[in-house]
Structure 1
Amino acid sequence: MPASTPVNLWFSEQFSWLSGWVRETVITVLLVVMAFALARLVRGLWRRVLLPVARKTPTQLDITLLSATEVPLSRAVFYLALYVAAGRLAVEPPLAGSVFGRILDGVFFALVVAATSRLAVAAAGGLTRWYLAEVARRTRSPLDEQFVPIISKVLVLVIYFIGATVVLARFNINVTALVTTAGVASLAIALAAQATLSNMFAGFTIMIDRSYRVGDRIQLPDGTMGDVYDIGLRATKILSFDNELIIIPNREMVASRIINQTYPDLRVKVRIRVGVSYATDIDRAKQVLLETCLAHPKVLKDPAPGVYFTDFGDSSLNLLAICWVEDYRDRFSVQDELNTAVKKRFDEEGIEIPFPQRDLHLRDIPPELAGRVARAGAVPAGPAPPPGSPQG
């Protein structure tokens, strides 16, 4: 601390009638007492003047910042006053030019820098809390909830790094060489943690692109479906329908084909596949299917349901009914209710739902085996069909 600052000059003039070490000791004691008083004054000003005024304003930003910086600011003021006091002792005999004097001056300088850094961190933390409580709550953006805390932590690291750099420079330590060494070490760590960093960048991509969000229902490439439980920096967690938590690295999620059933809206298509016998009136069967879909309260009228005759099966005429529901969470319950209603309506209308069956004709089997089969009731006992007859 230079001895020619206005504070030092004023104290020197007031106590010029004292000499040397005695004068500096008296002035130092007075500065320490003033440091305590000034710190208490700052806290009193914050509590009794600024905070009551801030509570009358429509915004919470000033209240949050004042509450967060009250204690760190008073400590920074206190350490600054102590630094001024220690600076006087360090430039006067017997400490002038001594190793202890330089260490004393450097220690109090480091305390001032640390207190100032803590004040900046407290202000950044208060700003983050205000943003999450006021702005992010109104926007309801998952991006804010994911990124703001990360940015806050990075800002804290930057503030402390700058503070450490200032202290090291004060002690004449080569900061450039230290930063270069840290850069080389960071490169080595980055190469060793390539997979982790890849997942982190993929996590940032997911958060920014918002291809899926927490709560969305997605389908993975292997057909697994579930709801997004959490999107972290390293992995995405999916809660399956079996209540199992599936953890997938973010880089795999970014590189995979993911089906998001929540986008662009919550509507989802429900398909009902059913087969009717060849003897059925196909138009009547289609009409029954359509009426069943329209009668369900959760089936949307727009877009309207549709029934289609898709193909001729081995044992049935295959029909496909397509309808839409408002919320994808109702998909399986609606499908269950529609299947049940279709079965009941078909039973009422006498429409048969066939099942696959095959007639088997046996030829040229030993008599003892034919008897055993006949006794088992599989086929009637009797001669085998003549050669050349149709076989099934």
Structure 2
Amino acid sequence: MIDTLLDSLSSLFEGVPPWQATALLVGFSLGLAVVLEVVVLRTLLRYTGRTETEYDNILVQELRAPIVVTAALAGVYVLTQLTAVNENVLLTPDQLDTFFGKPSLSIIVVAWAFASNRVVNRFVEEVKDKGSRFDFAPVFSNVWTLIVFVGTIGILLSLWEYSISPLLGAAGVAGIAVGFAARDTVANFFGGIALYFDDTYKLGDYIELDTGEAGTVVKVGVRSTTLMMRDEVLVTVPNASLNATRVINQSAPQRRKRLKVPIGVAYGTDVDAFEELVLEIADEESLVLDSPRPRMRFRAFGDSALEYELLCWVASPIREKKAQHRLNRAMYKELTAADVEIPFPQREVTLQPANAEGGHDDAASATSIADGASAIGSERRSA
């Protein structure tokens, strides 16, 4: 397509003196650059300056320079490729390409590379200032800068017809060496990227690990994630470990947490009155949410009690333990005041002292004790 366009332009300038063709092409390029700068780009800047988002304004601001430079130097490059214009010029086509064509393309490549790097860096700064989920944004900015730099060097070398194969080989060897030397760091880095794109958690979430550790996410870095435990101790966990284990996010998809409070009552208790009393206690607790409503669930017939669970919701996982403490205290007080028995395991041990013939006396004394420790003490006293 480019060759066809150049052939068409060459046919237009057949019979035109070289200086006139040069003046026309260069003048057209400069005029186009001025029109783009004065009319198009400034109009776009005024429009984007009134929009709510800043991203479109950043895009126009940073692409302004490469667009103008491309328009201004396009005529110079095209001029070096037109045989009809350059056939009467003292310089050869290779010399024209070397002194004018390749330098103009090189300037265009550098201008676009610089602008693309600036666009991404400014986007990153904009996202970071508005509170991103993670602080990975600066890392992406640095990686993008490295990619743009290496890509620009490769394009320029190819443009000037230098072989980049030795450089690629050296880069491959260096990459393998760095990968082996810093495999843990690399694993943590890519583990963090996976956590970012999977949206496993974000700052402020309360998460629980397979190891039983649970805390609030206060920092997610390139290498590790920092958790604030309930006792205000910071725990740093490598991202590679988090990416390879199960993470329970108790703050997602909603921050509220369901609370399960087990309680047992004695057999023979009026279960209707008991359930109503416990629900009243849950309704009066300020940490318990009104919606969803608290409810009682009869789970099982236990060995010594009817096993119930109070199901209710709290606004945040970090309020779970405090709410359970308050509910347990309130239920104990109210059930005791209402003469509702909360049973506990009891053990009955019968001690039979041995007679003179090595047997046991039929008239055995029975002692009821509350736990195993009291039973051992009674046995020692009988001895």
Report the TM range for the smaller structure's normalisation. 0.5 to 0.7
CA spacing shift, 1:46–1:247, aligned 2, 3 Å:
farther
CA spacing shift, 1:117–1:253, aligned 2, 3 Å:
same
Mapped partners of 2:59, 2:302: distance in 1: 73
Q: Is 1:64 paired with 2:54?
A: no
Identical columns (%): 25
Write out per-residue CA displacement over residues 110-136 of structure 1, whole angstroms, 9 at most, x where no aligned residue: 8994785365333442355358758x9
CA spacing shift, 1:347–1:227, aligned 2, 3 Å:
same
Mapped partners of 2:261, 2:333: distance in 1: 14
Q: Any idea what SS the aligned residue of 1:223 has?
A: coil
1:294–1:301: 8 Å Cα contact kept in structure 2? no
Q: Is 1:308 paired with 2:298?
A: yes
User: Which residue of structure 1 aligns with residue 247 of structure 2?
Assistant: 258
Q: Any idea what SS the aligned residue of 1:158 has?
A: helix
User: Which residue of structure 1 aligns with residue 313 of structure 2?
Assistant: 325
Q: Is 1:285 paired with 2:279?
A: no
Q: Is 1:227 paired with 2:220?
A: no
Write out per-residue CA displacement over residues 157-206 of structure 1, whole angstroms, 9 at most, x where no aligned residue: 23221332355457775421111121122123223333332223322322
User: Which residue of structure 1 aligns with residue 6 of structure 2?
Assistant: none
User: Which residue of structure 1 aligns with residue 228 of structure 2?
Assistant: 239
Write out per-residue CA displacement over residues 58-109 of structure 1, whole angstroms, 9 at most, x where no aligned residue: 54555323443567889999999xxxxxxxxxxxxxxxxxxxxxxxx89xx8
TM-score by length of structure 1 reads: 0.60
Q: Any idea what SS the aligned residue of 1:274 has?
A: strand
Mapped partners of 2:217, 2:38: distance in 1: 45
Deviation of the 1:361 alpha carbon? 8.8
Mapped partners of 2:136, 2:222: distance in 1: 10
CA spacing shift, 1:133–1:339, aligned 2, 3 Å:
same
User: Which residue of structure 1 aligns with residue 122 of structure 2?
Assistant: 129
Q: Any idea what SS the aligned residue of 2:172 has?
A: helix
Amino acid at match of 2:212: G
From 46, 49, 52, give the equivalent of 1:55. Answer: 46
CA spacing shift, 1:56–1:263, aligned 2, 3 Å:
closer
Q: Any idea what SS the aligned residue of 2:260 has?
A: strand
Q: Any idea what SS the aligned residue of 2:277 has?
A: helix
User: Which residue of structure 1 aligns with residue 175 of structure 2?
Assistant: 186
Alignment of 1:359-370 (within 5 A): none
Amino acid at match of 1:263: A
- CA-based RMSD of the aligned residues comes to 5.2
Mapped partners of 1:309, 1:64: distance in 2: 61
Mapped partners of 1:311, 1:286: distance in 2: 16
From 200, 203, 208, give the equivalent of 1:211. Answer: 200
CA spacing shift, 1:301–1:54, aligned 2, 3 Å:
closer
From 191, 197, 200, give the equivalent of 2:186. Answer: 197
Write out per-residue CA displacement over residues 216-237 of structure 1, whole angstroms, 9 at most, x where no aligned residue: 2111112221122233333222
User: Which residue of structure 1 aligns with residue 94 of structure 2?
Assistant: none
Mapped partners of 1:291, 1:131: distance in 2: 52
Q: Any idea what SS the aligned residue of 2:321 has?
A: helix
TM-score by length of structure 2 reads: 0.61
Amino acid at match of 1:192: A
Alignment of 1:65-214 (within 5 A): 65-68=59-62, 113=106, 116-117=109-110, 119-126=112-119, 129-130=122-123, 133=126, 142=133, 150-168=139-157, 174-214=163-203
Mapped partners of 2:267, 2:72: distance in 1: 97
From 330, 334, 347, give the equivalent of 1:341. Answer: 330
Mapped partners of 1:255, 1:222: distance in 2: 13
2:275–2:296: 8 Å Cα contact kept in structure 1? no
Unaligned runs of 5+ in 1: 1-8, 15-37, 81-104, 365-384
Q: Any idea what SS the aligned residue of 2:246 has?
A: coil
Write out per-residue CA displacement over residues 317-372 of structure 1, whole angstroms, 9 at most, x where no aligned residue: 364332221523443343233223213312331335466677889998xxxxxxxx
2:205–2:216: 8 Å Cα contact kept in structure 1? yes
Mapped partners of 1:150, 1:111: distance in 2: 33
Q: Any idea what SS the aligned residue of 1:56 has?
A: helix
